[in-house]
Amino acid sequence: MSKISEPLWWQGAVIYQIYPRSFFDSNDDGVGDLNGITEKLSYVAELGVDAIWISPFLKSPQADFGYDVSDYYQIDPLFGDIAAFDTLIQKAHQLGLRVLMDMVLNHTSDQHPWFQESRQNAHNPKANWYVWADPKADGSPPNNWLSVFGGKAWEWDESRKQYYLHNFLASQPDLNFHEPQVVEALLAATEFWLQRGVDGFRLDTANFYTHDVALRDNPLRADHEPPAEGVPPQNPYARQHHVYDKSRPENFIFLKKIRALINRYPHATTLGEVGDNIATAASYVQGHEHLHMVYNFRLLDISSDFSPRLMCDVIKELECHIADGWPCWSFSNHDVARTATRFGRGESHDALSKVLLALLFSLRGTVCLYQGEELGLAEAEVPFEKMRDPYGIRFYPEFKGRDGCRTPMPWTSEGGFSQAEPWLPMSEAHLPCAVSVQQENQHSVLSLCQTFLRWRKQQSALCYGDIRLLSVTENLLCFERVWQNQTILAVFNLGEYAQALPAEVKAYAVPLFGHGFETEKDCVLGYGALFFERE
């Protein structure tokens, strides 16, 4: 376990992820924007979170909704301009909120001027800025690498008479991190935003940066082996061992350079997306040379098998591998079905959402909370003809993609997101869960979220403490959090019926109140949570 004496702001923080397209539309064009975020920052601050992470808003053709950048120095007009961004930063800081920016460094849009120059021929100044390779003798791609979004990871370019690598859409060519000029250009773009006041970055696909220069084939998984992490099992990508196209040892060379840059800005931090097993992901935060945090992908992958036992196993595995690194937890984000649906086995309800929030906020480390989770939103149903996600359209109907977690935020019982038709349909099922509705109900998921986060800030053991697992049963999960002179016992009932307290819980004489859950003498209520402090 990591021992910290003086916590930095991001250690134990709760980071609220905002998907700008769907948060709030200030100019009624059907798409959320930066001014819309600024307008709703007071709501975010009142939740009790410490920071926001804003999904991409840089200039982009929007083939992958901002994850295909065409200019690292400009804001896409769809979301606003640099003045709107500066205003957002200023307002957030006034409210005590830090701002993390989503940086997509692994690849660009094929519309980026760098790629437009690179593809012209093999001799121009940026010829080596992307990953180019000759075809095999029969004209086929240079190896068996696959795209996460389906099909081969190689696209033929007629101009250069070569293939280029794209781990995602064909319109998202991968940059060549073995080229020093690429590294310097990306560091310069990153520093530009640090100088404008951002407090750090969520680094997209942080384990994809470098590739095997020999372009060796990935080995195939045997039939008895589990599928690769981070993708639906029906995706052919899941049937390869991705040892040559991602999570390469060379990745750490670039990450050291990123960390050296960030260290010049003591207020800043990095949060990496590392879609791989827990051991690999943990290696990215060890030794204080690379990333500050990576969020745990294991809980983003699971669906119907969530249970206290699985949660216990994931905690144990992370603690086994993370060494001196700092953990980060997330139950959901813009890429996976919402927590209430996945962990509720398709039957979401408020009581489950409440206890899941309490559990998330009680784990050791930093927490990422995706917009709408504080409302207990279930996954939205988006009909095929309204789908926008190229990933979902490619694998429909076995995999419905990511639109269901990206629908507009319900601010009022009428929607309240925009006066125009939104870019994705507002879910009718979300309207009774709207912010304005829940704000009037002291027993709502939103009220519990606010109450719990206010209470959490007063419990240093929950924010910074080590963790020690205790009892685990079919429905109960118990663990201790220990920080300096405070020891808190947390008990979670993930089942619908009341459960007797385990024997070791009864040794705690002081129940804690103010967290929003009912406290009984000898049991924990269905979908309840109890907290005790050792005298």
Distance CA 271, CA 285 (A): 10
Number of domains in the chain: 2
Distance CA 372, CA 406 (A): 10
Q: Report the interhelical angle of 445-456 vs 350-362 (nearest 10°).
A: 20
Global pTM value:
0.97
- Please give the order of strands across the beta sheet that includes 366-370: 293-294, 269-272, 200-203, 98-103, 51-54, 14-18, 366-370, 328-330
Beta carbons of 75 and 54 less than 8 angstroms apart: no
Residues 440 and 482 in one domain: no
Whole-angstrom distance between the N-terminal and C-terminal Cα of the chain? 24
The CATH number given to whatever domain includes residue 310 is 3.20.20.80
Catalytic residue (choose from 204, 245, 350, 379): 204
Return left, alpha or beta for 258; rule: phi > 0 is left, psi -120 to 50 is alpha, else beta.
alpha
Residues 480 and 428 in one domain: no
Question: 7: cis peptide before it, omega within 30°?
Answer: no
pLDDT tens sequence for the chain (535 residues): 556 778 999 999 999 999 999 999 999 999 999 999 999 999 999 999 999 999 999 999 999 999 999 999 999 999 999 999 999 999 999 999 999 999 999 999 999 999 999 999 999 999 999 999 999 999 999 999 999 999 999 999 999 999 999 999 999 999 999 999 999 999 999 999 999 999 999 999 999 999 999 999 999 999 999 998 888 888 999 999 999 999 999 999 999 999 999 999 999 999 999 999 999 999 999 999 999 999 988 899 877 789 999 999 999 999 999 999 999 999 999 999 999 999 987 677 999 999 999 999 999 999 999 999 999 999 999 999 999 999 999 999 989 999 999 999 999 999 999 999 999 999 999 999 999 999 999 999 999 999 999 999 999 999 999 999 998 999 999 999 999 999 999 999 999 999 999 888 877 878 999 999 998 878 999 999 999 998 7
- What is the domain range of residue 379? 14-106+180-211+246-456
In a domain, 77, yes or no: yes
Distance CA 20, CA 36 (A): 8
Catalytic residue (choose from 273, 319, 379, 480): 273
Beta carbons of 420 and 25 less than 8 angstroms apart: yes
Neighbouring residues of 301: CB distance < 8 A, sequence distance ≥ 6: 229, 230, 336
In a domain, 175, yes or no: no
424, 456, 488 - which closes a domain: 456
431, 456, 481 - which closes a domain: 456
In a domain, 22, yes or no: yes
Helix (H, G, I), strand (E, B) or coil at 89: helix
Residues 404 and 511 in one domain: no
Is 204 known to be catalytic? yes
Helix (H, G, I), strand (E, B) or coil at 14: strand
Query: Which residue carries 């784990």 as its tokens?
Result: 363
405, 436, 456 - which closes a domain: 456
- Strands of 116-236, DSSP E: 132-133, 154-157, 162-165, 200-203
